[in-house]
Amino acid sequence: MPAERGRWAWVRPGVALHEVISPDGDPDRLLTRFDCQIVKLQPKVIVGRISTPVGTLYVKRYNVFAWRIAVASLWRLSPAAGAWVGAARLAAHGFAAPDVIAAIEYRRFGVLRRSFFLTREVPDATPADVRWQEILAEPDGRRRRLARRALTRALGDLFRRLHAASVYHNDLKDVNILVTGPPEQPRCVLLDLERIRLPLHLGRGRRVKNLVQLARTLGRRASAADRLRFLVAYLGQADHVARRRWARAVARRTARKERGRRPDPPAAHVPAVSCTVICQNEERLLAHCLESVTWCDEIVVVDGGSTDGTLGIARRFASRILVNPWPGYRAQKQAALDASRGEWVLNVHADERVTPDLATEIRAALAEVPPEVVGFAIPRLVCYLGRWWYRGGWYPRPIVRLVRRTATRWGGVDPHERAEVKGRVVRLRWPLLHYTYRDITDHLRSLNKLTSVAAGQPKLPQRIGASRLVAEPAWRFVRSYLVHRGFVDGVPGLFVAMTGAFYVFLRWAKVWERRRDEEQAGEVPPLDRSQAGF
């Protein structure tokens, strides 16, 4: 497909790219849609799963995360273009890969800025390591033995055919091999197609490297019989002397790989985790939120009196649902905390989602949490205006959201309530995803609502002068647009900085209006306008 405004795209025949993505053909529109399930969100790559007119797609965004990557892109294919070529190479040699929809890259003056690879979902597929764990957990001994034999033979045959065709994939482990089909007849599908190479000579070292990667995927619970069965399928008619030689080579390379690494700790007890969600008329976002926390031991939803389909959605996921007429943010979260039963409580808003990486980090942290730690602060990453907001002061801004139930109460002032804990707080790395506003209209509607709540709180200043109405909004703008580099995001960065400043101005303007009305009603002493700056 020809270049358009610095964009190059390779598209599957019969697919209209603008119908799949958006009228402007920007794949970031897919990854930032509220109905996109983010599977991986890391500095190097973002992966999302989303339904489109051509079926369920996986969208992989390769980030240009370092200057060396940008410079190298001047003479190298982008990762997306490399994946497109890798898929073609696999198809030419008869190997299974996901159906490719498109590869798209954006360059400026020849330097890669971002690239995307779009593939159809492989139905009923699981990563090889997950399939292996499922097989080991099979209670029926006969079915477990048959499934183990079938999978190890299928993997051995896959590696044999790859190496016989001089096809090299430098990361054949974990999620990069999908397994589909029934347990007795598994079928392997390769991922991470940008890693496919066709070297002139596939040496023994690379072959052993792939075998070591597989050994680490199957883990220590693979028996000697499992490994022998794999080698038999891999080596074909080789005699036992050759098999023993390859087995020793794999064992030596694995030992070197493990050298210097700490052994895996014994399985630790993870305390029970309750997830609390307060909501009211959140049918658009609630299902995605609750689906992201199904790993928790308990989900408690406290509804403030919804009139849409919120309660119906909550019943699909929640362990318990409480209906409590809206008393305010702080009081509602305290009610949810009181209703939870787990030792630890994770508070999530209806417009937030827990990523798989964050869920894994939480479980690992709780497995070895010291007794003096009573809370964990989690950064939030906002998705708004078709982008992830790492600038403008919106990230990381960690907030205490995972707390020890018996050491916590909700305090603060609405709408800026906070968890008050008695003890040490530790910061986590992976963020909550926050789908804060649907569009600009929704943003302004929320500003009006939240500033009204803030202006109605007790213990606010009696005098509102020019410093609050002018200086504070001006500083908020400078901090967001200049200090936190919102200007890098162009017009959206300017808009976010200006609305942040307008929030501060509008809040104090409403407080000023409230004080004026109280003064006219005789409820407060007359305002000294000379001191107030009017």
Q: Is residue 105 a contact partner of residue 84, using CB atoms and an 8 Å limit?
A: no
Half-sphere exposure of 424 (CA within 13 A, CB side): 7
Task: Report residue 234 as tokens.
Answer: 């891999």
Report the amino acid identity of residue 404: R
Q: What is the average pLDDT across 381-408?
A: 89
How many whole angstroms separate alpha carbon 338 and alpha carbon 321?
Answer: 13
What pLDDT, on a 0 to 100 scale, did the predictor assign at position 425? 95
How many whole angstroms separate alpha carbon 253 and alpha carbon 367?
Answer: 31
The one-character DSSP state at 421 is E
Q: Is residue 381 a contact partner of residue 390, using CB atoms and an 8 Å limit?
A: yes
How many whole angstroms separate alpha carbon 393 and alpha carbon 479?
Answer: 8
Specify the higher pLDDT residue, 504 or 456.
504
How many CB atoms are closer than 10 A to CB 277? 25
What pLDDT, on a 0 to 100 scale, did the predictor assign at position 24? 63
How many CB atoms are closer than 10 A to CB 435? 22
How many whole angstroms separate alpha carbon 489 and alpha carbon 497?
Answer: 11
Half-sphere exposure of 173 (CA within 13 A, CB side): 13
- Nearest CA-CA partner of 47 in 34, 33, 37: 37
What pLDDT, on a 0 to 100 scale, did the predictor assign at position 517? 77
| 104 pLDDT above the threshold of 50 | yes
Q: Is residue 366 a contact partner of residue 438, using CB atoms and an 8 Å limit?
A: no
Please tell me the pTM assigned to this model: 0.83
Q: Are strands 55-63 and 45-52 parallel, antiparallel or unpaired?
A: antiparallel
Query: What rounded mean pLDDT belongs to the chain?
Result: 86
What pLDDT, on a 0 to 100 scale, did the predictor assign at position 270? 84
The third-level CATH classification (topology) of the domain covering 7-120 is: Phosphorylase Kinase; domain 1 (3.30.200)
Provide the β-strand partners of residue 100. 119
The one-character DSSP state at 222 is S
Adjacency order of strands within the sheet including 177-180:
126-127, 177-180, 187-190
Report the amino acid identity of residue 150: A
In this structure, the chain runs to a length of: 534
**1.10.860, 1.10.510, 1.20.1510, 1.10.3470: CATH of 126-258:** 1.10.510
Q: What is the average pLDDT across 248-256?
A: 81
Q: Is the dihedral of CA 440, 398, 67, 199 positive or negative?
A: negative
| 56 pLDDT above the threshold of 50 | yes
Specify the higher pLDDT residue, 466 or 193.
193
Asked if CATH classification 3.90.550.10 holds for the domain at 273-434, the reply, yes or no, is yes
Q: Is residue 477 a contact partner of residue 500, using CB atoms and an 8 Å limit?
A: yes
pLDDT tens column, 469-523: 888 889 989 998 898 888 888 888 898 899 989 988 998 888 888 878 777 777 6
| 531 pLDDT above the threshold of 50 | no
How many CB atoms are closer than 10 A to CB 303? 23
Q: What is the average pLDDT across 52-59?
A: 88
Domains in the chain: boundaries: 7-120, 126-258, 273-434, 440-532
What pLDDT, on a 0 to 100 scale, did the predictor assign at position 108? 86
pLDDT tens column, 275-314: 999 999 999 999 999 999 999 999 999 999 999 999 999 9
| 260 pLDDT above the threshold of 70 | no
What does residue 161 show for φ and ψ, rounded to 5 degrees? -70, -35
| Tally of helices (H runs) and strands (E runs) in the chain | 18, 24
